[in-house]
Amino acid sequence: WRKRTLPLTQMFPPSPSLQQIQFADQKQEFNKRPTKIGRRSLSRSISQSSTDSYSSAASYTDSSDDETSPRDKQQKNSKGSSDFCIKNIKQTDFGRREIEIAEQEMPALMALRKRAQGEKPLAGAKVVGCTHITAQTAVLIETLTALGAQCRWAACNIYSTQNEVAAALAERGLSVFAWKGESEDDFWWCIDRCVNLEGWQPKMILDDGGDLTHWIYKKYPNMFKKIKGIVEESVTGVHRLYQLSKAGKLCVPAMNVNDSVTKQKFDNLYCCRESILDGLKRTTDVMFGGKQAVVCGYGEVGKGCSAALKAMGAIVYVTEIDPICALQACMDGFRLVKLSEVIRQVDIVITCTGNKNVVVRENLDRMKNGCIVCNMGHSNTEIDVASLRTPELTWERVRSQVDHVIWPDGKRIVLLAEGRLLNLSCSTVPTFVLSITATTQALALIELYNAPEGRYKQDVYLLPKKMGNMHEYIFLGHFLDEYLSEEQAKYLGLNKNGPFKPNYYR
């Protein structure tokens, strides 16, 4: 062994200078954070949800210093089409590889594509979408195309787009208008470009947050009236649909995917159970064993977060206002507290209520030195971050999406993602879970598009239980026990092929 030993300089050659390794997203975060964002002429009053959360997950980015806005570029794919606006069409190969990896972990969606692409259940459907543009949602978009849909897409969030994935979609001929780091004006411009094409009347809307729906409703009312159906995934977007319905202004049927069993039981619970730890580890390298954490809210997201922290050896407290959820927390072995009772002693504070001002300045002032504060709810309203932007407090950027907020006496808290959604801001979410949600979205589109006249009125609906069960059968069919016998089905008063739960089951 000694005879084969090489000099250290040969075994470990010097690495390139750190100054040569610059990532585009970090450069933007550190060097440009204080600068003004251009092109803000369009009104932002329609929605605040597009900047409620964003992703800083690992993503291939061009190492060049070209900061030209995609709006000022003329790009074409290999077929000569220019009906898209993305960061760099040359990144298509990287994006295609990421999509192929995602396909391996999305069996339900791929099985739906294989099963239904011969029937083309979305043939003739012009679908306009506004979601996160990632490798996982790319699999959904390409599945919709395989099922016969014509798609135009924009991003629901100014930071979550994977540029290489957008390039791969554009290369395949899809009209995509999105890039990572859009300004707010860019955001609305992309949505408008997605919608406003001469002679193109969308029939279906697939939305995440409600921005696309409200843009069409406000700017193109005649177009909105001709929409056949809306599919909405997020709690914020669903809330806005119910507001339109209550006011008598919703003139098309809409499907509430957020409150479907597949979304609540899988995406909200199991996704957050895994991604909360991932987000905290990537940003803080914290050890959970022995730490005291308080989880604000014990819905499906709170249940997932609490279970994950408990399993890692943390001491977990729960705050809750709903008596049913509060009792569930007690039965699961968590101590139910008021936030004011434990705020001085806990090491980690996690909000996941979907509400606003859950953690306010008074709470932040009383936190111990080094307390980690983050949000797992949909929007950035749960932590009163605005109250921390005062002259007496100092903000210190530690790393991407991690800030120290320092008080005059030297106390500091660790604020993650400026109070935005932790798992999409600081890590990623499990692809398999996204497969479940994406398949539910695809089934909802198929149901609304093919529904006979009169089945759905101008209101908000939950996905029919039979359609939801179809999702599980697509993936789990070869694992499930045999169907009920005729005798068993009659005894339970059910169809032997399902569904096996009533529509009100949650």
Q: Is residue 302 marked as binding?
A: yes
Q: Is residue 301 marked as binding?
A: yes
CA-wise closest residue to 70 among 51, 90, 52: 90
C-alpha–C-alpha distance, residues 68 and 66, integer Å = 6
- Contact between residue 395 and residue 404 where contact means Cβ atoms under 8 Å apart: yes
**Separation in Å, CA 132 to CA 89, 304, 404:** 18, 22, 28
- Contact between residue 463 and residue 260 where contact means Cβ atoms under 8 Å apart: yes
Per the listing, tokens 């135009």 go with 152
**Residue 4 per-residue DSSP state:** G
C-alpha–C-alpha distance, residues 177 and 186, integer Å = 10
The continuous run of DSSP H or E covering 39 comes out as: none
Q: Is residue 29 marked as binding?
A: no
Q: Is residue 267 marked as binding?
A: yes
Residue 41, token pair as written in the block: 């002429």
Q: Is residue 365 marked as binding?
A: no
Neighbours of 494 (CB within 10 A): 15
Contacts (Cβ under 8 Å, ≥6 apart) of 108: 435, 436, 439, 471, 474, 475
Beta strands at 402-406 and 394-399: parallel, antiparallel or unpaired = antiparallel
Q: Is residue 396 marked as binding?
A: no
Q: Is residue 134 marked as binding?
A: yes
Per the listing, tokens 């730890």 go with 277
Q: Is residue 300 marked as binding?
A: yes
C-alpha–C-alpha distance, residues 7 and 388, integer Å = 53
CA-wise closest residue to 151 among 223, 83, 66: 83
CA angle 366, 372, 373 (to 5 degrees): 75
User: Per 3-state DSSP, what percentage of the chain is helix, strand, and coil (rounded to 5)?
Assistant: 40, 15, 45
Q: Is residue 303 marked as binding?
A: yes
Instruction: Output the known binding site.
Output: 134, 208, 233, 263, 267, 299-304, 320, 423
Q: Which residues are annotated as a binding site for substrate?
A: 134, 208, 233, 263, 267
User: Which residues are documented as binding site for NAD(+)?
Assistant: 299-304, 320, 423
